[in-house]
Amino acid sequence: MKLNFFKYQGTGNDFVMIDNRHESFDKKNIKQISFLCDRRLGIGADGLILLENHDTLDFKMTYYNADGRQSSMCGNGGRCITAFANYLGVVSDKATFEAIDGIHHSIIEDNVVRLEMQNVSQIESSGTHVFLDTGSPHHVQMESELQTMDVKMSGSKIRYGELYKNEGCNINFVSKINDAGFAVRTYERGVEDETLSCGTGVTAVALAMHYIGATEKNVVTLNTKGGELQVTFDACDGSYSNIWLIGPTEQVYKGEIQW
């Protein structure tokens, strides 16, 4: 069987993109999805995304982690599927689509895609970390030796530890650059490794840093290993709305794979 696919990346967070408007892709085949995301045997990606028809909106986004299982919201994936929909002629410079966490709006400006995220009203802060859900659950903690730390080891220890033993969690390590900028490294569940960037992760970091008073800005720049992202938001009494994730996207290549 042959499958036509596209490869997209947003600040190094990469995805296999498939046009599934004709519903020909077997969404229940976890082994197949995992194979396509395998960097040695398949195409290689942090996740796989299906663009599907929607009755009333521009399209539907269905996202799978690299382990082959359907997952929670992916911010960079939402930006990349907007670019993919534009490439296919499904949308022009604006899109409204459904993802697993609800309805999203997005705007295309050249190669930059702005994605509106869901409002966040519940944030838990302890002495060591902040926990919040930005479409996916995120643990955020400050680190003084961010550049030299073993993110895979440290992240997996927290992800599988007592705090998140039931559902697991994405783990973000952060250091402050200036009043409006932070460096971020993220361990993603489902990938079970550090990724070059995580959209819901940097969104969580921006909100968490504002929540604990590490920044007073509502336009925050996040430096990841894969590039720079921005998060803007409105804050009121510990709740956050009008949240936008902003950054570049790129179609890396397209091809055909047989299995």
Nearest to 249 by CA among 94, 50, 78: 78
Among the listed residues 74, 80, 169, 236, the single catalytic one is 74
Does residue 169 have an active-site annotation?
no
Burial class (CB within 10 angstroms; exposed 0-12, middle 13-18, buried 19+) of 241: middle
- Cα separation of the two ends of the chain: 6
Pairing of strands 59-65, 94-99: parallel
What residues pair up with 254 in beta bridges, in sequence order?
6
Q: Supply 167's token pair.
A: 């559902």
Among the listed residues 37, 169, 198, 236, the single catalytic one is 198
Whole-angstrom distance, CA of residue 59 vs CA of residue 53: 5
Does residue 198 have an active-site annotation?
yes
Beta carbons of 141 and 176 less than 8 angstroms apart: no
Residues that are catalytic: 74, 198
